């Protein structure tokens, strides 16, 4: 951490500025008092570490993500099927479904279930299932800000444990 020479604030971006004739290392706000000669980003390593940690946490939190069907599955199926030169009844046969199922999926009259989605994914080489955050944790942590700590993880693990206990899972 580096402190601003003027206000003493901890900053991640330091501005080398000439203020009233002397070279000072100041924060963005204080740099407006003088002439900035160079800008140095500090703590970038630290930030990277945080990001890496965040990725690890995401991985370990995988179970808090749930599978959900992509919104435009109908178009994806239709386009991929046509690309492969398959007719609706042909795709139906391969997937072991009725032709009406494919028809209704492509016109979005039928909701795609996870099992069929997986099947169609491998037949058509498309992605129909997405991971989305489980609502249980959505409001408690923000994985995007990269500010998760080991403490957060332990806290989450504790909660998970408690959840599993109560549900007998």
Cβ–Cβ < 8 Å for 2, 27: no
| Binding of residue 128 to Zn ion (CB under 5 A) | no
| Binding of residue 127 to Zn ion (CB under 5 A) | no
Q: Which residues in the 28-47 window bind Zn ion by CB under 5 A?
A: 30
Q: Which one of 27-35, 36-44, 122-130, 160-168 is the stretch in contact with Zn ion (CB under 5 A)?
A: 27-35
Residue matched to tokens 């402190």: 3
How far apart (Å, rounded) are the C-alpha atoms in residues 154 and 60? 11
Q: Which one of 4-12, 52-60, 87-95, 135-143 is the stretch in contact with Zn ion (CB under 5 A)?
A: 4-12
Cβ–Cβ < 8 Å for 129, 122: no
Q: Which one of 18-26, 36-44, 110-118, 128-136 is the stretch in contact with Zn ion (CB under 5 A)?
A: 18-26
| Binding of residue 7 to Zn ion (CB under 5 A) | yes
CA torsion angle for 136, 139, 142, 144 (degrees, to 10)? 80
| Sign of the Cα pseudo-torsion (51, 53, 59, 64, in order) | negative
Could you say which of 24, 27, 61, 141 contacts Zn ion (CB under 5 A)? 27
| Binding of residue 150 to Zn ion (CB under 5 A) | no
Residues at the interface with Zn ion (CB under 5 A)? 4, 6-7, 26-27, 30
């Amino acid at each position: 951490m580096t402190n601003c020479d003027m206000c003493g604030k901890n900053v991640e971006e330091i501005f080398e500025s000439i203020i009233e004739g002397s070279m000072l290392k100041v924060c963005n706000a204080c740099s407006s008092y003088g002439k900035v000669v160079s800008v140095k980003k500090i703590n970038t390593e630290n930030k990277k570490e945080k990001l890496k940690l965040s990725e690890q946490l995401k991985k370990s939190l995988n179970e808090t993500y749930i599978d959900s069907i992509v919104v435009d599955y109908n178009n994806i199926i239709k386009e991929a099927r046509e690309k492969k030169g398959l007719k609706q009844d042909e795709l139906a046969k391969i997937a072991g479904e009725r032709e009406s199922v494919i028809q209704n999926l492509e016109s979005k009259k039928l909701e795609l279930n996870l099992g069929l989605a997986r099947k169609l994914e491998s037949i058509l080489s498309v992605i129909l299932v997405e991971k989305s955050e489980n609502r249980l944790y959505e409001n408690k942590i923000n994985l995007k800000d990269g500010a998760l700590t080991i403490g957060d993880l332990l806290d989450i693990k504790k909660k998970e444990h408690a959840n599993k206990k109560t549900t007998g899972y």
